[in-house]
Amino acid sequence: DVSGHLVKQSMSRARALDTSPSMNFSDEVYELT
C-alpha cells in the first residue's frame, strides 16, 4: 500500500543519510591518521 511504500522510502532515505556521514567521517579519520 501507499503508507508502506512511504515508510520504506523514508527508511531508505534515513539509511542513506546515516551511511554517508559515517563514510565521510571514516575517510576523514583515515586522512588524519
The CA-based diameter of the chain, rounded to the nearest angstrom, is 48
pLDDT at 17 (0 to 100): 61
Task: Give 1-33 pLDDT, tens digit per residue.
Answer: 677 777 777 777 766 666 555 555 666 665 655
Note the pLDDT of residue 2: 74
For Cα atoms 17, 19, 21, give the angle at the middle one, nearest 5 degrees.
75
- One-letter amino acid at 3 equals S
| Confidence (pLDDT) at 7 | 76
Handedness of CA 3, 6, 8, 10 (dihedral sign): negative
pLDDT reported for residue 5: 73
pTM over 0.75: no
Domain range summary for the chain, segments of one domain joined by +: 1-33
